[in-house]
Chains A and B, each alone.
Chain A
Amino acid sequence: MDFFLYTKFGQMLLVLIAFAALIAVLLAIAWAADRWVGKGRRWAALAVFGGPALLLLAVGLIWPAIRTIYMSFYDAGTHNAVGLQNYIFTLTNTGAVIAFRNTFIWVFLVPIASTLIGLIYAILVDKSRLEKLAKSLLFLPMAISFVGAGIIWKFVYEYRGAAQEQIGLLNAFITWLGFEPVRFLQDAPWNTLFLIAVMIWIQAGFAMVILSAAIKAVPTDIIEAARLDGVNAWEMFRNITVPSIRPSLVVVLTTISIATLKIFDITRTMTGARFDTQVLANQMFDYSFVFGDNGVGSAMAVAIFILVIPLVAYNIRQMAKNRAVRG
């Protein structure tokens, strides 16, 4: 018994066993209801199959979200109402300008660059002999955590004084070309761009996979017809490929935008948000869990939510439209 209660693996097994038992009981109830109860049996099945998930969502997502909105109008310890003060602080504190500016740069650059690279790459390797391998290479960073990617790139950007031998790949390359080494992560404002490059490195593979599938779904007779008309590669790309995969392009762009808006891991790992690299999501974390100001932290969470809404709404509409088209 001690094993289950006092060791990590024991607790893990315990929770899995308890969960399995719970599911077994629920299914047994549904099974029994199916045989005996006449009228309420449909509701019994619904409660068993849908109930647990809906209950968890209500308690763990809906209620906390409402509560966060509520807390954003209160002070640090949620004792006194402070009106819009937390929102004013969110917009005007000394770091706010930089956090918002950086967040917007991230959300502007990452989706466009990732999508562009993913699209070009998908077209270039399409139907080539090594397509599968080539795609895996670009896709691989998707399996790596933001923290892992942060360390990988911190190493690439590593800076040593000009007198020393460079151990970072980029600075070694730059000094080999005869230039002075660059402090990629310290020198604002460019350092934000070098953090953004990491996110592009991760997201390009996602864009590539989705767009590649979309390109393959373009009807071959259209391509054949265009080719017989003597259309060149650029015209083919502009007038046939891009219009045909437009819905997928929109989904990719918005999905990456949403992910980028909430990114905080890369900044945290690579610069610790110093050197003017702060972003909104990281600031939210700092205020809530480092400085312990639940009011301001909540207001920042709400700010992220407000920025996400139009993107998600657009994304959902687009997905619904695609579904309608595909049937």
Chain B
Amino acid sequence: MSVEAGVPEVADVATSGAPRRSPATKFRSLVANRIGSAVALVIAVLWTIPTFGLLISSFRPEADIKSSGWWTFFQDPAFTLENYQEVLFGRASSGALATYFINSLVITVPATVIPLVLATMAAYAFSVLEWRGRDWVFVGVFALQIVPLQMALIPLLRLFSSSGLLEPFPFLSVWVSHSIFALPLAVFLLHNFMSDVPKELVEAARVDGAGHVSVFLRIMLPLMAPAIASVAIFQFLWVWNDLLVGLTFTGANNDIQPLTARLAEMAGSRGQDWQLLTAGAFVSIILPLIVFLSLQRYFVRGLLAGSVKG
């Protein structure tokens, strides 16, 4: 079932249908319809205005942001890119977010690719391979979503810091943690999608002498591409927007902190510097917004397949 299914064939629910209605009912439903549209419009505006205001503000000169509301921009437009220049490439105390943007990217790409590959393979083990105890183990993996990330943070952190690997590879703990935390949901979703692939397809290939590796690579992967895409978007947004894991495993190490951690810190330490905060916030949401808007269809698909994330 797709969210886009609502092709506007019936433009007006309340006024269509039942032909034998009295003028009074018709009038009433028309009013109800108007009120309904007005309510929807109000909600839509409430949901959009805050982000819109932030975007406008980020392009206003510092003095203007601090002395007048962003809505005055339309009477007295003054446009500047200085805030972005400052927050991205300026002094360290003004954010230097370009570095953190790169950190977020360096964290997010492996933390999306690795769990996705592992989860796809695990989904194959849980849906195509037949072994004793399979269903029980699968339920166990699914149930791991109960465990809040908070439960795993301290021991995992100790494990990494005692391994000595963080010195040469500081990002390792973030990559691995994100990969692990993604697995229960990703395995569950991909297993659901994979179970929908007709069994005959796999069996026919097996009869023809294809091994599991070729069934996996030649049959499953192409068929699963849309499902993998939807889980990938999920994971990408999750990792990019995450604060808890980023903050915990990068500690106070500014060299590897993600954008979210830096921004949260700036919101505290430079809470009144709205020229930096507005531009900074936009730097952090621009990439997920683009991904989200261009791939919304897949995202919705993943969402509808059921999601609970620890």
Q: What is the interface of chain A, defined by CB distance below 8 A to chain B?
A: 5, 8-9, 11-12, 15-16, 19, 23, 27, 30-31, 34-35, 42-43, 45-46, 48-50, 52-54, 56-57, 59-65, 67-69, 71, 117, 120-121, 124-129, 131-132, 134-148, 150-156, 158, 165-169, 172, 201, 204-206, 209-210, 212-213, 216-217, 224, 227-228, 230, 233, 251, 254-255, 258-259, 261-262, 264-265, 268-270, 272, 281, 284-285, 288-289, 294, 297-298, 300-302, 304-305, 308-309, 312-313, 315-316, 319
A265 and B213 within 8 A (CB) = no
Q: Is B103 in contact with chain A by the CB < 8 A criterion?
A: yes
Rounded to whole Å, the gap between the CB of B146 and the closest CB of chain A is 5
A246 to B23, CA, bound (A): 34
In this complex, the member of A50, A67, A153 whose beta carbon has the largest number of chain B beta carbons within 10 angstroms is: A50
State whether A129 and B11 are in contact (beta carbons under 8 Å apart), knowing that A15-B110, A67-B155 are contacts in the complex.
yes
B124 and A49 within 8 A (CB) = yes
Nearest 8 interchain pairs by C-beta: A50-B125, A34-B211, A145-B241, A60-B180, A143-B292, A53-B122, A64-B155, A64-B152
B285 neighbours in A (Cβ, 8 Å) = 143-145, 148
A49 and B125 within 8 A (CB) = yes
User: B-side binding surface: helix, strand, loop or mixed?
Assistant: helix
B53 and A56 within 8 A (CB) = no
A-B contact pairs, 7 of them (CB 8 A): A19-B110, A60-B180, A61-B180, A67-B154, A205-B47, A233-B29, A269-B268
A259 neighbours in B (Cβ, 8 Å) = 309
Which single member of A31, A135, A167 contacts B65 (CB below 8 Å)? A167
Apart from the given pairs A19-B117, A60-B176, 15 other A-B contacts in the complex at a CB distance below 8 Å: A12-B110, A15-B169, A16-B109, A30-B212, A67-B155, A71-B154, A147-B241, A155-B53, A209-B3, A210-B303, A264-B244, A265-B243, A265-B264, A304-B151, A305-B151
A76 to B103, CA, bound (A): 32
Rounded to whole Å, the gap between the CB of A226 and the closest CB of chain B is 11
A49 and B129 within 8 A (CB) = yes
A132 to B4, CA, bound (A): 7
Q: Is B230 in contact with chain A by the CB < 8 A criterion?
A: no
B40 and A134 within 8 A (CB) = yes
A5 and B122 within 8 A (CB) = no
In this complex, the member of A54, A156, A217 whose beta carbon has the largest number of chain B beta carbons within 10 angstroms is: A54
A5 to B14, CA, bound (A): 65
State whether A169 and B43 are in contact (beta carbons under 8 Å apart), knowing that A30-B211, A216-B6 are contacts in the complex.
no
State whether A128 and B8 are in contact (beta carbons under 8 Å apart), knowing that A50-B122, A209-B303 are contacts in the complex.
yes
State whether A35 and B211 are in contact (beta carbons under 8 Å apart), knowing that A71-B155, A228-B18 are contacts in the complex.
yes
A269 and B122 within 8 A (CB) = no
Which single member of A50, A61, A65 contacts B129 (CB below 8 Å)? A50
B1-24 interface (Cβ within 8 A of A): 1-6, 8-11, 13-14, 17-18
A217 to B216, CA, bound (A): 33
Q: Is B98 in contact with chain A by the CB < 8 A criterion?
A: no
A135 and B156 within 8 A (CB) = no
Rounded to whole Å, the gap between the CB of A281 and the closest CB of chain B is 7
A141 to B50, CA, bound (A): 10
Q: Is B183 in contact with chain A by the CB < 8 A criterion?
A: yes
A147 and B260 within 8 A (CB) = yes
Chain B contact patch, size range: 35 or more
A27 and B144 within 8 A (CB) = no
B155 and A304 within 8 A (CB) = no
Rounded to whole Å, the gap between the CB of B87 and the closest CB of chain A is 12
A94 to B235, CA, bound (A): 38
A165 to B247, CA, bound (A): 36
Q: Which of B88-96, B197-205, B275-283 contacts A (4 or more CB under 8 A)?
A: B275-283
Which single member of B1, B154, B243, B268 contacts A68 (CB below 8 Å)? B154
User: A-side binding surface: helix, strand, loop or mixed?
Assistant: helix
A45 and B212 within 8 A (CB) = yes
B4 neighbours in A (Cβ, 8 Å) = 132
In this complex, the member of A34, A151, A213, A305 whose beta carbon has the largest number of chain B beta carbons within 10 angstroms is: A151
A227 and B17 within 8 A (CB) = yes
Which single member of B66, B118, B213, B251 contacts A30 (CB below 8 Å)? B213
Rounded to whole Å, the gap between the CB of A268 and the closest CB of chain B is 6
Rounded to whole Å, the gap between the CB of B17 and the closest CB of chain A is 5
B154 and A298 within 8 A (CB) = yes
* B263 to A, closest residue via Cβ: A147
A148 neighbours in B (Cβ, 8 Å) = 241, 260, 263, 281, 284-285
A325 to B146, CA, bound (A): 24
A49 to B165, CA, bound (A): 26
State whether A143 and B155 are in contact (beta carbons under 8 Å apart), knowing that A56-B183, A155-B54 are contacts in the complex.
no
A127 and B1 within 8 A (CB) = no
* Residue interface mask B175-192, A partner, CB < 8 A = 1: 111011101100100000
B11 and A308 within 8 A (CB) = no
A18 to B32, CA, bound (A): 62
A145 and B303 within 8 A (CB) = no
Which single member of A127, A144, A151, A251 contacts B267 (CB below 8 Å)? A151
A34 neighbours in B (Cβ, 8 Å) = 211-213
A50 to B141, CA, bound (A): 11
A50 neighbours in B (Cβ, 8 Å) = 121-122, 125-126, 129, 137
A300 to B110, CA, bound (A): 31
Rounded to whole Å, the gap between the CB of A213 and the closest CB of chain B is 5
B304 and A210 within 8 A (CB) = yes
